[in-house]
Amino acid sequence: MGAVHPDRVRQYDLSRRFEELVGSSRAEGLDKRIAVLETCQELGQFNKATLACWGVDQRSPMADRRVLEVCFSIPAEHYLEDGQTCAMHLRAFGDRLPKALYSARPRGLQGSDWWDRLRPGRERVRAEIAEMQRSALCLRLLDLPRLSALVDAWPTVERLQQAETIDYRMRLLRAIAMGRFLRMVERGRPVIL
| pLDDT (tens digit per residue) in 146-189 | 999 999 999 988 888 888 888 998 899 999 999 998 999 898 87
Cβ pair 170, 176 in contact under 8 A:
no
pLDDT(137) > 80: yes
- What letter would DSSP give residue 41? T
Q: Report pLDDT digits (tens) over 101-120.
A: 777 777 777 778 888 889 99
Give the pTM: 0.61
Q: Tell me the pLDDT of the chain averaged across its residues.
A: 81
Cβ pair 84, 102 in contact under 8 A:
yes
